[in-house]
Amino acid sequence: MGRIVVEVMPKPEILDPQGKAVMGSLPRIGLTGFTGVRQGRRFELAVEGPVTQEHLDDAERAASTLLSNPIIEDVVSVHPLQED
Amino acid sequence: MGRIVVEVMPKPEILDPQGKAVMGSLPRIGLTGFTGVRQGRRFELAVEGPVTQEHLDDAERAASTLLSNPIIEDVVSVHPLQED
Summarize pLDDT for A33-78 with one digit per residue, the tens. 999 999 999 999 999 999 999 999 999 999 999 999 999 999 999 9
CB A42 within 8 A of CB B41: yes
| Residue A19: closest C-alpha in chain B | B43
What distance in Å separates the CA atoms of residue B84 and residue B65, rounded to the nearest whole number?
30
Q: Which of A9, A33, A65 has its CB closest to that of B44?
A: A9
What distance in Å separates the CA atoms of residue A79 and residue A60, rounded to the nearest whole number?
9
Number of structural domains (chain A) is 1
What distance in Å separates the CA atoms of residue B29 and residue A81, rounded to the nearest whole number?
23
How high is the pLDDT of residue B63?
98
What distance in Å separates the CA atoms of residue B18 and residue A67, rounded to the nearest whole number?
11
| Residue A39: closest C-alpha in chain B | B43
CB A29 to CB B55 under 8 A?
A: no
Q: What is the CA radius of gyration of chain A?
A: 16
Please report, for the domain that includes residue B11, its CATH number: 3.30.1280.10
14-33 in chain A: CB under 8 A from chain B: 19, 22, 25-26, 29, 31, 33
CB A22 to CB B46 under 8 A?
A: no
| Residue A25: closest C-alpha in chain B | B66
Report phi then psi at B4, rounded to 5.
Answer: -120, 135
Summarize pLDDT for B19-28 with one digit per residue, the tens. 999 999 999 9
Q: Global pTM? A: 0.95
Q: Does position A2 have pLDDT exceeding 60, yes or no?
A: yes
Q: Which residues does B69 contact at the CB level (< 8 Å), separation at least 6? A: none
- Give residue B32's domain range: 2-80
What distance in Å separates the CA atoms of residue B45 and residue A22, rounded to the nearest whole number?
10
Q: Does A7 touch chain B (CB under 8 A)?
A: yes
Q: Which residues does B25 contact at the CB level (< 8 Å), separation at least 6? A: A66
Compute the count of residue pairs across chains A and B with CB atoms less than 8 Å apart: 104
Q: Does position A26 have pLDDT exceeding 70, yes or no?
A: yes
Distances (CA, A) of B34 to A14, A62, A75, B20, B62: 31, 11, 19, 12, 33
- Beta-strand (E) ranges in chain A? 2-10, 36-47, 73-80
Complex-level ipTM beyond the 0.90 threshold? yes
